[in-house]
Amino acid sequence: MRRTAALLLVLSAIAPAAFGAWGRTEYFHDATPEERAMKSVAIAPGAPAAILEWTQHQDDVSSTMTEYTRMKIFGEEGKKYADIELMYVPRFTAVSGIKARTIHADGSIVEFNGKMYDKLIVRAGGARVMAKTFSIPDVQPGSIVEYVYTRTWPLSYLSSTRWTVQRELPVLKYNLWVKPYAEQVGSFFISHSTPNNTVPKQNGDHFEMTLENLPAFDKEPFALPDTQLKARVDLYYTTGKTDPDEFWKQEGKDWAKTIEDFIGDRSGIKKAALAITSGATTPEEKLRRIYAKVQTLRNLSFDDEKTEQESSREKLRDNRHIEDVLDNGYGYRSQIARLFVGLARAAGFDASVLRVATRDDVFFAKQYPVGDQLDAEVVVVNLDGKPRYFDPGTPFAPFGLLSWEKTDTQGLQIARKTGGTWTGTPLSTPAEGLTKRQANLSLDGDVLKGKVTMTWSGQTALERRLEHQHDDEAATKKALEEETKAFFPDGSTVKLAKLEGIKGADEPLVATFDVELANLGTVTGSRAMLPLSVFAVSRKNPFASEQRKSHVYFSYPYQYEDEVTLKMPAGYGVESVPANTDINLGAIAYSNQWSTVGDALRFSRRMTVSTVFVDVQKYSVVRNFYSKVNTSDQEAIVLRKAAQ
């Protein structure tokens, strides 16, 4: 039997509990007296619940994964863990055999016989992950809940798997049983942060592993990606050479053949490039026109569910090469990237595909012979003697800007003759992650009223455009209102008045809101005390904790530029304003300034983060910086009513 090697880690990276169970009722068992009497667990006193037993059983020969989970609920907060989500990828994986029940402290049992619902969990590029959701019934503090289910996938696919063995709750006992597929392929396990770096041990035709007393995952703000930090075990399949140097050399050659054959040297592309660039007077203008053209094509990797269903009925033609992509008017993200390369070459540019490792989930490890670590394609073009980087396969990506997860990472620059050459992508600048926040306010009683304008550029605009690309106007409006309202104190109101640039790319995304900001200051008698750092005063310091376990990690460099103008209330004068602040540590910097403009006070604030990584050993420096920023943001102006 021949199988296609498809290294699919999407589900396991998103939810460690999202894989099937034994699916046999004998794995349900009565509660022991010790379990019924349990009030807490020693490894996590005060935890709202704990995983008593968690077993995963995977047979890659039969393409079946099973799971059994047993939890003890300790308090009211723990009841939420009886709301279950079982992940699957539509048209690829299936979830079945779901059984669940509640065991009360007195030993009585309530079986689950309720409804299940399908829920969209996440869409990342071409991957759409759904979940079967349900709630285990009649759960109370002291209850034990258990559930089982089965996940299957086609026999024609061979799937590498990631078991993330750390969860939001402590796990008292975890069992893993794996039977790898063995025909025509090899396999190996890699352990990440498991106790004593434990990996499954072979037992006949399968492998087993048992772990005990796994602590709950402690999610810290601005930390490395969860999957990178959590204890996990990966199973990879491989063919051919496994020496890293030899492996990557061969991978480069294989990709070069696939990619360059798809691009080719086609007369139709040459004619198209000539037509697209006709009238352009500079090399950059030519390249901009080509980029704009490929960005107009339908990107199948980012279709929504409705469009995917329509595509299935349309029976879209396969793209065998880039000319098909252009003629058909659609393609997957890598096909669109390759079309950009072909058109650029036809217009006289030195252009090539760069196969890169994204860094939003796990980080690239060159020592592992796993080709699917390089999971995205960007484009390098020599423009005016300098390499420029482009992301034509991502909708709304501005000209010359890579979506953040493809920045500051490694990849193979593909060439037909040499295969692949290792290189890196540049880190975007703070200016390419700019958010401008402007507020024009006046005091009405003890409420600040007026308009707020949010302007997102570069990475910040791209994130929102991708997030809302399939939302209707009402959904986008609601989401942006909620996002902006989160800056302000409870009791504030935020209503979107105008939205510009939601379908753009190079231009900023601009949203204007009518706002009423309550509970921001104090107005008593003849005095008013108001902090004018209105976008930050209600935000918690993300680094307030004295201790830190993980490194500090920002997705990309960014900058906030705030400008708040307060029209002076009639009859009031300025008694005092805080001193200006300027803190510059190089990688992170903050400044603010106060001024008077006519009959108004103006407050300007700038926060710049120029790095993506700060070693945990320097956490005290970061904490001290943010403490000073937080103190400065809390400072208020004092207004006094003139004597009558």
pLDDT per residue as tens digits for the range 288-319:
999 999 999 999 999 876 555 555 556 789 99
The pLDDT, as a whole number, for residue 313 is 56
Amino acid 24: pLDDT: 43
Q: Where in the chain is the domain with CATH 3.10.620.30?
A: 244-424
Q: Which whole number is the average pLDDT over 219-225? A: 96
Q: Which of 16-20, 290-294, 336-340, 434-438 has the lowest mean pLDDT?
A: 16-20
Residues of the chain with CATH 2.60.40.3140: 4-238
Q: What pLDDT was estimated at residue 569?
A: 87
CATH number for the domain whose boundaries are 4-238:
2.60.40.3140
- List own/partner pairs for 279-288 with CB under 8 A and 24 or more apart: 283/349, 283/383, 283/384, 284/383, 284/384, 286/347, 286/348, 286/349, 287/344, 287/347, 287/349, 287/381, 287/383, 287/399, 288/399
pLDDT of residue 136: 96
pLDDT of residue 312: 56
Q: Which residue has the higher pLDDT, 23 or 633?
A: 633
Residue 138 CB contacts under 8 Å (≥ 6 apart), including other chains: 102, 104, 110
The architecture of the domain spanning 430-641 is Sandwich (2.60)
For 396-417, b/e burial (b = at least 16 CB within 10 A) is: bbbbbbbbbbbbbbbbbbbeee
pTM for this one? 0.90
Burial of 277 (0-12, 13-18, 19+ CB in 10 A): buried
What pLDDT score does 611 carry? 97
Model confidence pLDDT, tens digit, residues 20-60: 333 344 789 999 999 999 999 999 999 999 999 999 999 99
Of 119-123, 213-217, 531-535, 608-612, give the lowest mean pLDDT range. Answer: 119-123
For the chain, percent of residues with pLDDT exceeding 70: 93
Residue 2 pLDDT: 37
Fold that domain 244-424 belongs to in CATH? C8orf32 fold (3.10.620)
Phi first, then psi: what are they for 170, rounded to 5°?
Answer: -65, 145
The HSE-up count of residue 340 (CA atoms within 13 Å, CB side) is 34
> Residues spanned by CATH 2.60.120.1130 within the chain?
430-641
Calpha distance 223→580 (Å, rounded): 31
